[in-house]
Amino acid sequence: MDLLDAHGRALRGFDQTILRVDQRQWRNATPCTEWNVHDLVSHLVHEQLWVPHLLAGRTLEEVGDRFDGDVLGSDPLRAWTEAATAARSAWTKPGALNRTVHVSSGRIGAADYGWQMTLDLAVHGWDLATAIGAPDPIEPDVAVSLIKEIGPEIEQWQDAGIFAPPVPVAEDANPAARLLGLVGRDPG
């Protein structure tokens, strides 16, 4: 599976899950113990807001603090939809994946950034689904592609504190469960 397909499917999974959030669930706890549903969605919206700027070649300093604070406002679903639509449009522009982008760790290839963003959409989609009692949105093919593309980097990210240590899963676990265990989630 190529990056744009995997990204589109992970984005769609998160999108379908956020549409299930009931007004009473915005304060529900998530598997990300420091975030509730509102905080988790805010994180994803924040990330999507950066995408068009970074893919356009802007540095972190050039983007600055424009996305600091409450990015959800009074309509979290609208904030998500607008940010996700703009991000997806930026990803699908011709040549977008051939660029270099500025991230907090330095300059990386846009394709590497894309796989990182796809992982974040998939894993946080599961976090959101778990918090609100919705079905797991991670498609098996997306999970397999993420394990292949991102798997070798996970240990470094765990050492840096980005992910918790891996959680053991059964050898015959489905791809989504294997991916979740790899990033320190207990898929149950």
The pLDDT tens digits along the chain (188 residues) read: 999 999 999 999 999 999 999 999 999 999 988 999 999 999 999 999 999 999 999 999 999 899 999 999 999 999 999 999 999 999 999 999 999 999 988 999 999 999 999 999 999 999 999 999 999 999 999 999 999 998 888 877 777 777 888 899 998 999 999 999 999 999 98
Q: Give me Rg for the CA atoms of the chain.
A: 16
Check residue 20 and give its pLDDT. 97
Please give the Cα distance from 54 to 131 (Å, whole number).
Answer: 30
CB within 8 Å of 147: residues ≥ 6 apart: 175, 178, 179, 182
CB within 8 Å of 3: residues ≥ 6 apart: 97, 111, 114, 115, 118, 149
CA–CA–CA angle 9, 110, 152 (5° rounding): 75
Check residue 156 and give its pLDDT. 78
Read off the pTM: 0.94
Type of residue found at 109: G
Dihedral (CA of 74, 78, 84, 88) sign: negative
Please name the residue that has the structure tokens 């765990």: 158
Check residue 110 and give its pLDDT. 97
- Kindly report the number of other CB atoms within 10 A of residue 142's CB atom: 27
Check residue 157 and give its pLDDT. 77
Please give the Cα distance from 74 to 3 (Å, whole number).
Answer: 33
Q: Which domains does the chain have, with CATH numbers?
A: 3-139 (1.20.120.450)
